[in-house]
Structure 1
């Protein structure tokens, strides 16, 4: 089974291993320093330039889905989607700004504490309620709300400092 799962992974094993090393270094560094650490500290810890560190994290976080998986099974549906995407005359500057904002948000989320990151992920990407998140994390709904508010404040502050 393990070899079948590995065959489905589009990333080389070495890159997947390197991403795990970054995660391990992040955890160990936080434990050693007794505080949250930033990307620069983790990159320095593993001996990488910051850009290389971000590149590994970005690539390791990618995943692919097929159009069929999201409900576009017929050729007509795929063609309609393609036409729609082509018809969107979004200029490259706007696309660039959107991409930059997404990258900044992803980086800001990545800098959150693990529980905050998990709450944000479960709430916004998995569409769980605060009550459901509380059950998953074995904490009260009130604590989930606190973590969510805390994370959102940090994200707003970070994005405002970057002028987004």
Structure 2
């Protein structure tokens, strides 16, 4: 690692002490990020697993940090920790294939309806297009929301959405990558501005204010399950818009 933190060989005693000290110093940050993610996820996700993944990300940050890229180590480490936790969630891939297929059908329906209507379709319009009842559609949106972290691999995934709303979560390795990401985030913010007002509010509360689903429901006056449905729907709309 080329930085002010030092270049001690990780296999020497001094290198091991330096790394241990780094983990101790940044463990509270890792724990905060793990807790912030855990409250948004199914109960089966253990916070200790997220913390362990975050520590791996912290060590990776130690090894890869280059002070000449302009970011501070604390910012870079936070980004790497967040990314490692997201990778851990994706590796679990708990979203059933049937739900994944149905969610893709929702995206396809949204894409077709936007072209026909010239605007974002309503829930009822998407459900009718898929020959679903509104309750079936909303249940699908709720089921899909549990797998958002594991199912989105494209550039417009949940992590990119988070980084667009909260710049502190935006990882980059080079100025070129940072520039590309900046353009992507600008486009994404423009797309967010085209969402229904309620979905814009939900995304801001979820990613920027870091409220959990229950807290967002209290703010918006809707149930926690309804928040989950709307979040999944908002992300689907954005994926459709970004695919054009």
TM-score computed with the length of structure 1 as normaliser: 0.43
TM-score computed with the length of structure 2 as normaliser: 0.31
